[in-house]
């Protein structure tokens, strides 16, 4: 007797385990219990009559078959997402779920009021906000929309360049009262500087060559941009901040604006397949307009 084909739910659980690396992580990602997810894996292995994972001290290790199945399972995930989007294609009323990804600073400090305004206008839309400094793969449908600081290169993406967001040097008045205000970029060398632990490639391309801004000169090193912003607000030292963001915090003082003004690109991006999905298109247009206004402040 021919075995029935495994359901999509089983492949979805398998794909989650491959992406998360563990049953517990996959269960959290899918909002399932770990026993239920483990049962899905066993059912899929029984249907395929082959093992997909082996256990080791390092956790679950995928078999060769599991690695070969991944691109096919990802194709199924993309097709399922496309089916969901097709349901609302052509409808004028925006509804459904839109997944947005942005950096830590943009996602926590900039987007929330913009998303609140959109929610008020489109109450039928649920927004999933992924806040990470790692680039999410729109081609793999990790997210529907992305706010990026570099120009996307994939051809299947629709991208709109927004106004450039200016970056500058800022410090809290409390720090400046204690340590003085630098009168030139060279005087930064004698101050407490807040900077990166591992330099992002896009920041390296933005910073001018004459700026004394290297890891060895920082007295606080962090790759968490919100931690750096919090340190500036606490009076720890001098750091780089978005000018319109610092304007929301009057206590931050801009330093040497004539000597250092860094224009940072900003793009809103979506997969071209989503242009006819009402909710995604409307949020795309809304964020483009709102971020343009933000960049002009």
Residue 163 CB neighbour total at 10 angstroms: 17
**Number of structural domains found in the chain:** 3
The kind and range of the H/E element at 79 are helix 64-88
Query: In angstroms, rounded to a whole number, what is the distance separating the alpha carbons of residues 247 and 61?
Result: 49
pLDDT of the residue at 105:
93
Answer yes or no: is 37 within a domain.
Answer: yes
CATH (domain of 16)? 1.10.10.10
Q: What is the dihedral of CA 278, 279, 282, 283, to 10 degrees?
A: -160
Residue 184's region, left for phi above 0, alpha for psi from -120 to 50, else beta, is beta
pLDDT tops 90 at residue 183: yes
Domain end marker among 87, 110, 136: 87
pLDDT digits (tens, 9 = 90+) for 238-272: 999 999 999 877 789 999 999 999 999 999 998 88
Please indicate, yes or no, if residue 147 is contained in any of the structural domains: yes
Max avg pLDDT among 17-21, 52-56, 175-179: 175-179
Q: Which of residues 38, 53, 87 is at a domain's end? A: 87
Which helix (H) or strand (E) element contains residue 98? strand 96-102
Please list, residue by residue across 106-135, b when 16 or more beta carbons sit within 10 angstroms of its beta carbon and e when fewer do.
bbebbbeebbeebeeebeebebeeeeeeee
Q: Which of 46-50, 101-105, 191-195, 210-214 has the lowest mean pLDDT?
A: 210-214
**Do 66 and 115 belong to one domain?**
no
Residue 2 falls within a domain, yes or no?
Answer: no
Residues in CB range of 269: below 8 A, 6 or more apart:
138, 145, 146, 147, 148, 152, 157, 158, 159, 160
Do residue 125 and residue 144 come from a single domain?
yes
What are the helix (H) ranges across 89-199?
104-105, 111-121, 173-179
pLDDT at 188 over 90: yes
Is position 3 within any domain?
no
Q: Same domain, yes or no, for 137 and 276?
A: yes
- Strand blocks (E) in 235-293: 239-242, 253-255, 262-264, 267-271
- The one-character DSSP state at 163 is P
Burial of 144 (0-12, 13-18, 19+ CB in 10 A): buried
- Please give the distance of CA 282 from its chain centroid, rounded to a whole number: 20
Q: Is residue 80 in a domain?
A: yes
- Is residue 152 domain-resident? yes
Distance CA 284, CA 241 (A): 25
pLDDT tier at 28, thresholds 50, 70, 90? confident
CB 86, CB 69: distance < 8 Å: no
Q: What is the pLDDT of residue 123?
A: 92
pTM (2 decimals)? 0.67
CATH number, domain with residue 284: 3.40.190.10
- Co-location of 95 and 223 in the same domain: no
Domain end, chosen from 36, 53, 87, is at 87
**Do 13 and 79 belong together in one domain?**
yes
User: Does residue 149 register a pLDDT over 90?
Assistant: no
Residues 211 and 183 in one domain: yes
Length in residues, the chain: 297
Residue 26 lies in a domain: yes
* Region 175-188 average pLDDT: 95
Q: Could you tell me if 154 and 284 lie in one domain? A: yes
Instruction: Return the minimum-mean-pLDDT range out of 55-64, 166-175, 191-200.
Output: 55-64
Domain span holding position 216: 165-264
Say if 187 falls within a structural domain. yes
Share of residues in the chain with pLDDT > 70 (%) = 90
Average pLDDT for residues 192-218, to the nearest whole number? Answer: 84
| pLDDT tens-place string over residues 94-108 | 788 888 999 999 999
């Amino acid at each position: 007797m021919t075995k029935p084909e495994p359901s999509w739910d089983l492949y979805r659980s398998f794909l989650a385990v491959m992406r998360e690396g563990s049953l517990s992580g996959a269960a959290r990602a899918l909002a399932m219990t770990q026993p239920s997810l483990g049962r899905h894996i066993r059912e899929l292995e029984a249907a395929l009559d082959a093992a997909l994972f082996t256990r080791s001290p390092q956790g679950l290790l995928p078999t060769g078959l599991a690695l070969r199945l991944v691109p096919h399972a990802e194709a199924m995930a993309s097709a399922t997402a496309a089916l969901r989007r097709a349901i609302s294609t052509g409808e004028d009323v925006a509804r459904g779920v839109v997944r947005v990804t942005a950096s830590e600073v943009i996602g926590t400090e900039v987007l929330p009021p913009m998303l609140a305004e959109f929610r008020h206008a489109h109450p039928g839309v649920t927004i999933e906000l992924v806040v990470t400094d790692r680039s999410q793969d729109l081609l793999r449908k990790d997210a529907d929309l992305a706010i990026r600081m570099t120009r996307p290169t994939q051809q299947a993406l629709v991208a709109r360049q927004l106004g450039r967001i200016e970056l500058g040097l800022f410090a809290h008045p409390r720090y400046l009262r204690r340590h003085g205000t630098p009168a030139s970029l060279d005087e930064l060398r004698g101050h407490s500087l807040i900077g990166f632990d591992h330099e992002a490639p896009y920041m390296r391309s933005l910073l001018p060559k004459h700026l004394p801004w290297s890891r060895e000169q920082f007295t606080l090193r962090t790759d968490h941009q919100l931690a750096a912003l919090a340190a500036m607000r606490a009076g720890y030292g001098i750091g780089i901040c978005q000018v319109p963001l610092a304007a929301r915090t009057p206590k931050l003082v801009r330093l040497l604006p004539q000597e250092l003004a860094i224009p940072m690109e900003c793009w809103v991006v979506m997969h071209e397949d989503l242009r006819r999905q009402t909710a995604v298109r409307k949020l795309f247009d809304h964020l483009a307009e709102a971020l343009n206004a933000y960049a002009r402040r």
